[in-house]
Amino acid sequence: MKILVTGAAGFIGFHTTSRLAISEHEITALDNINSYYDTSLKFDRLSLLGLPKDAIRPATPLTSDRYPNLRFIQLGLEDKKGLLDLFQTSSFDIVINLAAQAGVRYSLQDPDAYIASNISGFFNILEACRAFPVTRLIYASSSSVYGLNEKIPFSPEDKTDRPISLYAATKKSNELMAHTYRHLFNIPVSGLRFFTVYGPWGRPDMAYYSFTKNILAGKEIQVYNHGDQMRDFTFIDDIVEGILRLMDNAINHPGRLQHPVYNLGNNQPVKLIEFIEILESLLHKQAVKKFVPGQPGDVTVTYADISASQNDFDYQPSTGIKDGLARFTEWFLSYYKD
Q: Within 10 Å of residue 19's Cβ, how many Cβ atoms?
A: 15
DSSP 318-330: ---HHHHHHHHHH
- Amino acid 286 reads Q
Cα gap 231→196, rounded to integer Å: 7
- Which is the catalytic residue, given 67, 139, 167, 315? 167
- Amino acid 132 reads F
Q: Are residues 135 and 251 in contact, defined by beta-carbon separation less than 8 angstroms?
A: yes
96-131 burial, b at 16+ Cβ within 10 Å, e below that, comes to bbbbbbbbbebbeeebebbbebbbebbbbbbbbbbe
Cα gap 27→69, rounded to integer Å: 6
Cα gap 328→325, rounded to integer Å: 5
- Amino acid 26 reads E
Q: Are residues 160 and 146 in contact, defined by beta-carbon separation less than 8 angstroms?
A: yes
Q: Is 167 a catalytic residue?
A: yes
Say what angle helices 207-217 and 272-283 make with each other, to 10 degrees. 40
Coil, strand or helix: which one is 270? strand
Which residues fall within 8 angstroms of residue 32, CB to CB, at 6 or more apart? 74, 75, 76, 77, 78, 99
Report the C-alpha dihedral over residues 276, 277, 280, 281, rounded to 10 degrees: -140
| Pick from 35, 335, 300, 32: nearest CA to 150 | 300
Cα angle 167, 171, 173; round to 5: 115
List the catalytic residues. Answer: 167
